[in-house]
Structure 1
């Protein structure tokens, strides 16, 4: 029997498998399991690349990497994705779709409690799901037309107006909170059923956690877990090498060789579902024409930029989604040809003199990449204004379409194209000012069939439209680099850049 732990799920997250919609799925009973070792596990300090600004996993920051990182420590998911089409239960003991996958019934694991001792029931699941829908944040885009019901304390039924074979991938980003989460101020000191409890939280600075003694999968061995925000890359690398922090990830490639030479550190790259994604706002007058957007793409020498800046972690992309994701379909790369790009812009009547493209991003490690792209576009007379924003402002402006170009490292939750393409590229989502009714129809079909081959074919059609219309530029597939001190034991890197820590211990340096 395979013992189910969060760590075992995380370790398998990079595997690739065919999508299987099973008649019923289940995970092992954790009754005989224990958490970490019984000896004291030490104090662990972590600094990821994105600050934790918000602990609410249901609202506008629901899919923000910082919020997801905190949520995995504080709350529990119904199911966890361990690869395309591979899922294991967390709060859910089993699940079953109806014949056309328009209804999914989940049975909850018995005996799970929130950290205040109250039981986790189906009513909490329904209340959490309704908060997601009411909040109208990024996660809500996965669940248009859905409703949830609790026929009894241990059963939850999710119903959609249309078939949805991709539902498990979508729900793997969903966290369950108590019904009291609707109260104002709840998420300053939230109560969850995850492995850790909140001791203090300063948004954008520090999140201090303690082990949850009542955690259903066994109390973590750590004495404490602290997340720090260190936005400057150099400062974060120094903090790792001096022992101020114990684990970090998403390091710049030019730092990896130096980190590998430090005998006090372990450095490892893992395959990732992430893609450097440069959306172009199709509602911006200067960018409404696909020919203009494609010309801008053609004007940037991405292959040289990637080779220079990302020799350790970057590979030129040929699709908006990673090869690790179900639905990946390679496209013909856009060739670098600045002369052809300039000619295409001229033919389209591009107004060089009066057009300034506002390009927003939020992570300091993007700066060199941004500068290189801005330089290439300047070579053909296109003016781009880089706008580095704090994460909270970036997210607010992202949803408000207050940008012309937007850069982010975009993953695919659940390793299923439905949670990327199906959520972000529809007319209803209006995430990039782009609307294509033909694309909408294809994405709707792809999300409503349980036939894997048919889904892959439909996503290939959708990707071709997105690529040819140059809805964005998709320069690079990303490997995820991690580094941790040798005093850290039991840490498993994960492909999505949102690791778990309940199996980790820290020994003396």
Structure 2
């Protein structure tokens, strides 16, 4: 078996572009000047509806932000994609990538003082799979066994070279955890829960027993302020001290404030607008391609996101292993309408375009307007976060919008998880695509995997499983008293090292 030192383990794809942050700075040094104490209040554009990282909300950005603060993982990804140890100190993998052995840290405890060991890791994997949440497919088929309290062995029937990245989505909870435990969960991460109001506020205190050293803050408060203008006002007045996911029209105004630092980082996200191929009106690829052609994404992206957006050339962000550039459809409203007519599209059909979040409202309205121009009866359906997630999984939508991130930096996480026939996530099923994805997910040769994921992306793109209009940069802003905040390309900032002056 080949030992992989923690500090040197990187993803198979070197992603220099992902770390070259496009930045403008006004006031404050983010790396120096901090001290212990104080309350850091931040506002996320994504509400946290649940603190259970294994269930239905496990893939929600708000739950993941909270999860990395409260729980440990075997490994985690740095903002540049480098994989480093968290609960694990090192790992070994056999040449076939079918057996992974993780050595755990000694003396790790949960925030209630109980010991955390290999049994908790094994139980966490089992719980993710049993709950059948959105991340379950990443861990289905893994045989997890404890090798004493300090080692865990994960075995797969087929090679799984992407397993290390998938494990960044596995949050370790106590083996005896219950659903009721997540009102105030116990974890071994840098913070512990003080109070939680779903969809509104999460208040965290430092975990004094955290193996990485307790954070130097007195308290971390994560608020949800969905309206952009209110969030920007709160930042300027000091009601909050940091936020991210800032729209372009606000970035320039914030850059002119001497008391703020503003930085943008290329994201691992692509705006993704799945068609529900299970709906009769959207079953034909000719119809889906025509609807994509009917939207002038060049103009929409240029108008709404001149600094943080770019028309996407793939279903994946450039930073992700498996990315390959493709040619976006050329906008042509007349040709799109003719193609719909030729495909027998019923123009009396109403298409519900569901989304969640005020930040996306203008974008969605622009898409709906372009579809309406050619006689397609599209309508925006803005939903509260919990309802959106429930309806997403239940397929109660015709077109679904989400900013789909790949925090593992590996195409297996999203392509292999969301586009197979078995996934049943968008009504689309293509046995040819299944074959390509299965092969890509079961070989260890990185170059061959890239080729296969490029083939898979081409199939998804050509069949217009969705529209993939924009890859983006994430704009972060924080006040001058905040130090040590590093912008994250997956909307998942780490506050455990932040200090206040």
- TM-score by length of structure 1 reads 0.92
Task: Give CA deviations for 1:8-54 in whole Å, capped at 9, x if unaligned.
Answer: 99xx9x97179xxxxxxxxxxxxxxxxx9995321100111011110
C-alpha separation in 2, matches of 1:82 and 1:340:
45
Conserved? CA contact 1:16–1:83, under 8 Å = no
Conserved? CA contact 2:228–2:359, under 8 Å = yes
Shift of 1:86: 3.1
Change (3 A) 1:270 1:377: same
Task: Give CA deviations for 1:147-190 in whole Å, capped at 9, x if unaligned.
Answer: 21112101111122211111111111111011132x24101111
Shift of 1:229: 1.2
Conserved? CA contact 2:48–2:63, under 8 Å = yes
C-alpha separation in 2, matches of 1:188 and 1:504:
26
Residue number among 46, 59, 62 corresponding to 1:63 in the alignment: 59
Task: Give CA deviations for 1:89-141 in whole Å, capped at 9, x if unaligned.
Answer: 10011111223112211111112111122221000001111110011011101
Q: How does 1:387-426 map to 2 (within 5 A)?
A: 387-426=381-420
Which residue of 2 is the match for residue 16 of structure 1? Answer: 15
Which residue of 2 is the match for residue 100 of structure 1? Answer: 96
Residue number among 255, 260, 282 corresponding to 2:255 in the alignment: 260
Residue number among 236, 244, 248 corresponding to 1:241 in the alignment: 236
Change (3 A) 1:445 1:501: same
- 1:194 equivalent in alignment to 2:163: no
Which residue of 2 is the match for residue 463 of structure 1? Answer: 457
C-alpha separation in 2, matches of 1:345 and 1:313:
32
Task: Give CA deviations for 1:327-359 in whole Å, capped at 9, x if unaligned.
Answer: 001112210011110110000111112x00011
C-alpha separation in 1, matches of 2:442 and 2:206:
41
SS at match of 1:273: strand
Question: Which stretch shows the higher mean deviation, 497-506 or 82-91?
Answer: 82-91
Which residue of 1 is the match for residue 169 of structure 2? Answer: 173
Question: Which stretch shows the higher mean deviation, 85-94 or 361-370?
Answer: 85-94
Q: How does 1:249-288 map to 2 (within 5 A)?
A: 249-288=244-283
Conserved? CA contact 1:83–1:414, under 8 Å = no
Which residue of 1 is the match for residue 483 of structure 2? Answer: 489
Change (3 A) 1:288 1:50: same
Which residue of 2 is the match for residue 118 of structure 1? Answer: 114
- TM-score by length of structure 2 reads 0.93
Q: How does 1:490-509 map to 2 (within 5 A)?
A: 490-507=484-501
Conserved? CA contact 2:195–2:202, under 8 Å = yes
RMSD: 2.1
Change (3 A) 1:49 1:139: same
Conserved? CA contact 2:206–2:216, under 8 Å = yes
C-alpha separation in 2, matches of 1:86 and 1:351:
49
Q: How does 1:433-472 map to 2 (within 5 A)?
A: 433-472=427-466
C-alpha separation in 2, matches of 1:257 and 1:382:
36
